[in-house]
Every structure is written in structure tokens, then in C-alpha cells.
Amino acid sequence: MSSDTSTRPGNIVILTGAGISKESGLDTFRCADGIWSRVNLEDVATPEGFARDPELVHAFYNARREKLSDPAVQPNAAHAALARLEAEWPAEVLLVTQNIDDLHERAGSREIIHMHGELNKVRCQACEHLVVWPDALSLEHTCAGCGRKGTLRPHVVWFGEMPLEMERIYDALSQCSLFVSIGTSGQVYPAAGFVSHVRMYTRARTVELNLEPSTGATLFEEAFYGPASGVVPAFVERLLAGRS
Ligand code: BV8
């Protein structure tokens, strides 16, 4: 696999979604028992929802921060396989995740872009001060940057907000030789459009690793279906052995 006729391995871009963290005990969004089956995304994942009822949104993300801090929630074999790929692959590996958990970091991945933000960080709406915050957040807290009270929000990208580091992501997509999409339903843009960008502007291989075909499944040249903790390590093993 390479971006040109030479045998030199090319750069890899990996996109992950909530499915890669499912076997670690974190909920997905659109599966039958997913988050959006229990709460209205308009109420908790939009700026309008936060303006309307900030305490509801704080409670939503506080519950997810508490779950993520549960010692039972650990990176699984899929997270570990991606960290191994980054460590052993002879070219660049960029991991773009829609997930706001820190399981990729804890598995050892380094080149990570959290395009939808991070659950364990909060940001001041007044002065943009950004701080690591693994605990519960409320309107009573004050910003360490400007001292204002009640201006802190989750450092998370809501619907209608621009995802983070998009220029860096599109640069990497335009130069990759392999694009792998893992554990995402392919329903949220712009992430769901990455595979089309790769097909339009590169000759890269496109691979989907998912529990079941995603909405964009037909856009991928290859696919391997099953739980991420099985299909991702197997794919990485073949890639590193030169058999894929
Ligand atoms: C943007 C917050 C433009 C973080 C999330 C009106 C106004 C503006 C934009 C729009 C609009 N209407 C529509 C849009 C576009 C919108 C969008 O795409 N909407 C969809 C619903 C149609 N997108 C946006 O708004 C984005 N912003 O476009 O801005 C702009 C331009 C200029 C200037 C300013 C703005 C922002 C999108 C980000 C929204 N934030 N969440 C949080 O709380 O977590 S989105 C939410 O969905 C999560 O972030 C999640 O990451 C993301 C994608 O979900 P998935 O990860 O795919 O999870 P899902 O449950 O769907 O699927 C799981 C998959 O795993 C399944 O396929 C399942 O089969 C599989 N699976 C399950 N178990 C396993 C498994 N796979 C392997 N192994 C297993 N064991």
C-alpha cells in the first residue's frame, strides 16, 4: 500500500467514533441503547441548549466525566492496536477522533486530534481560558483566567459549532495513502465526509472497520465488520506484517 507506485509505505489517517470505546464501557450515540435514545441532542449538544438550560448540560457532561473516571473504563485492544501502529509504522499516522474520551491517550497514541473536543477540559466563554477539568462543573465555578463566575463550559464541539483543527485534518487527508474509519456511524459531518475527500483528492486506500456497515459503507473500498477489539488488532497486525 502506498500513495504512488513505489513500495514506500505512505501516511495513514485514522478516524474513530464512539464504537471504538463501546467495549471499554462507554456508550455510543445512535445504537439502540445509545445516548441519543435517552436524551435530546438539541438539549445537551447545542449552544442553544446550553443557553436555555446550562445546568441540564452540566449534569449531562458531569455524568459522562464521572463514568470516564470509573476504574472499570480502560482502553481496549482496539485503542492499543492503534497506539502500536503509530509506534511501528515507518511513516506518519494521524489519529482523528470524534470521541471526547481520553482512551486513545491512555492507550499510548500521541498524534491525536480531538475534532469534537475533550470531556476532561473546560473553556471560559468570556476569555477562552482552557483548563484540564476531570471533575464536575457548575455555574458556581469561577474562571482561573479572568475570575468571572458561571462562564465555564465543556470544551466540546456542539452541533452548529466548527470542529477543531479542520485545516490540519484536511491537509493530512490530502496526503494520506490509507484512510481507516473505525467505530463511527458516518452520520455526523464534516467527519462523515472525510472518506469522500480522500476519494476525491488522493488515490489512497479506504477501509471501514465497524460493528456493521455505516451509512457511508459503500464509499469504502474495503471493510471488515465485527467488534473493534477484534477487527482493529487483526487489521493492524496484517498491515505491519505487510500482508494488507
Ligand atoms: C458543523 C458533541 C458547521 C460531543 C457531537 C445546522 C447547523 C450547523 C451544522 C449542521 C446543521 N444541521 C446539520 C449540520 C451538520 C451537523 C451534522 O452533521 N448533523 C447530523 C446529525 C446530520 N454537524 C455539525 O453541526 C458539526 N459542525 O457542521 O459546523 C460550521 C461551519 C462554519 C462555522 C461554524 C459551524 C459539529 C458536529 C459535532 C457535534 N458534536 N457531540 C459529545 O457530546 O460527545 S456529535 C456526536 O456524534 C459525537 O461527537 C460523536 O462523536 C459523533 C459521531 O457519532 P459516532 O461516533 O459515529 O457514534 P454513533 O453512535 O453514531 O455510531 C457508533 C458506531 O459504532 C455505529 O456505527 C456502531 O455500529 C459502531 N459500533 C458499536 N459498537 C461497536 C461498534 N463498532 C466497533 N466495535 C463495537 N464494539
Q: Angle formed by the axes of helices 194-201 and 166-174, to 10°? A: 40
| Domain residue limits, the chain | 8-25+75-116+163-243, 27-72+118-156
Q: Average pLDDT in the 7-35 region? A: 93
What pLDDT does 226 receive?
A: 98
Pocket of ligand 1 (CB under 6 A): 17-19, 22-23, 28-31, 34, 45, 98-100, 116, 156-163, 183-185, 187-190, 210-212, 214, 227-228
What pLDDT does 7 receive?
A: 60
Task: Please give the C-alpha separations between residue 53 and each of 120, 126, 136, in angstroms, as whole numbers.
Answer: 21, 18, 16
For 197-237, what is each residue's pLDDT tens digit?
999 999 999 999 999 999 999 999 999 999 999 999 999 99
**Hey, what CATH topology would domain 8-25+75-116+163-243 get?**
Rossmann fold (3.40.50)
What pLDDT does 82 receive?
A: 98
Q: Is 26 left (phi over 0), alpha (psi -120 to 50) or beta?
A: beta
Check the annotation: does 212 bind a ligand: yes
Direct distance between the N- and C-terminal alpha carbons of the chain, in angstroms, rounded to an integer: 8
**Hey, what CATH topology would domain 27-72+118-156 get?**
SIR2/SIRT2 'Small Domain' (3.30.1600)
What pLDDT does 125 receive?
A: 97
> pLDDT band at residue 148, thresholds of 50, 70 and 90?
very high
Gap between the Cα atoms of 6 and 28, Å rounded: 40
Which set of grid coordinates corresponds to residue 51? Answer: 443557553
Average pLDDT of every residue of the chain: 96
Amino acid found at 52: R
Please tell me the distance between residue 106's alpha carbon and the centre of ligand 1 in angstroms: 23
* pLDDT higher than threshold 90 for residue 3: no
Gap between the Cα atoms of 67 and 215, Å rounded: 28
What pLDDT does 8 receive?
A: 72
Q: Cell 471560559 appears where?
A: 124
Task: Express as a percent the part of the chain with pLDDT over 70.
Answer: 97
**Of 23, 24, 28, which is best to mutate to test ligand 1, by the most ligand atoms within 8 angstroms of its C-beta?**
28
What pLDDT does 243 receive?
A: 75
For 168-206, what is each residue's pLDDT tens digit?
999 999 999 999 999 999 999 999 999 999 999 999 999
Gap between the Cα atoms of 10 and 86, Å rounded: 13
* pLDDT higher than threshold 90 for residue 127: yes
